[in-house]
Structure 1
Amino acid sequence: MAKHRRLNKTTTRRVAAASAAVMGATVLAPGVAGAVEVVVPNTDVRVDVQGLDQVQGLQNVPNIEQFVPSMQSAPAAGNYAAAVTVPTAAPASSGQAIVDAVRSKVGAPYAWGAAGPSSFDCSGLTSWAYKQVGKSIPRTSQAQASAGQRVSLDALQPGDIIAYYGGASHVGIYVGNGMIIDALGSGSPVAERPLHYMPIHSAVRF
């Protein structure tokens, strides 16, 4: 039962209209949940509506913040049992974050034994990019090729490491669309190249 105060015929109609607008969204689950306060604009009428925190798409109702103050700012402690939860965008995958990190270094100079942040060798670049997303991987190209989980070329995902040549002496990061980014060698800055630019040894995922 909703708790209410100071309702007359006029405000009752306003409450009904406000509730109809709010409840136009789809309910996720039936049953009683925490009460959420609904207000009638330009009045002192406030109604605690049970189960409103379970409504999906509530944030999409036009001018919803006028009726449900919790949609505009977090409620003060103790105002009601449960606040309305507004969905947020999912974070980018770690693979895409690795790609974003390595792409930020395109044009950086090659330097043997360097692992960033201003210059790189091949495995220094891959280990640096993984470090940006909180992943620690082996430092050398051979160790990276050995330690990662082997994946087939037809199952590549952005962020996978591609090892090249018979001894896995070179590595790059697969960035999608048949391309890698690597630190190729002296005189060649970090750049994007075709996946099959060199003979492939293996592909691994961490």
Structure 2
Amino acid sequence: MHMICRQAPVIPVLVIEDLAHAVPLAEALVAGGLPVLEVALRTPVALQAMSLMARVPGATIGAGNVMTAKHAMEALQAGATFATSPGFAHSLIDCCKEHGFPLLPGAATASEIMQLLDRGFDLIKFFPAAATGGVATLKALGAPFPQIHFCPTGGISQSNAHEYLELVNVACVSGSWPAPLELQKAELWGDIRQLAHQARQLNNGHHRSAANDEPHSAKVE
């Protein structure tokens, strides 16, 4: 998961309602510089969309909102290369570990982080970020958990993402703003590409200066 999260400062969270939008959406986001895409398991076409998007050159497709082992297996079979969850269940963790399926589990409290640390995780989704104290909470968590890096999500936008990315314990952020549903419905792929490009300009110590918008990999710290 570390290498996946280091590819770009932002992972778009995608809610796809129309299967015909899957490929052009992925192409627009990758062209804008955001190669890692999280397709939320919130719509009937989400799994089919993953299968189509996984064929887009340069795209790394993950499944979001994965809550059960069944969800994880369906996503893996659909072509997802990683999974994220708003929280965690030990049955989900066990399933992903058994099948070598990278998982980004979620946590919002110190106790949850300790449980995930005990299961071998050092990269965790921090959700819901804004509602759980945002930057101030992440700074506070950095003291007792210096070995943990986070991917904050929930209440993050282009205007405040840089505040999170400046933190040394933040690997990347995720959010829906690079590909809003209204732009998908209007098939404004150029606008989505521009939003992706703007998101790619966000930077922290883990990502190079985004002088160009080509996807890249970075060494895990």
Range of TM-score over shorter length? under 0.3
Flag the structure with more relative contact order, 1 or 2, with Cα contacts below 8 A and sequence separation at least 6.
2
Name which one, 1 or 2, has greater alpha-carbon Rg. Answer: 1
Query: Relative to total residues, which structure has the larger strand share, 1 or 2?
Result: 1
Query: Relative to total residues, which structure has the larger helix share, 1 or 2?
Result: 2
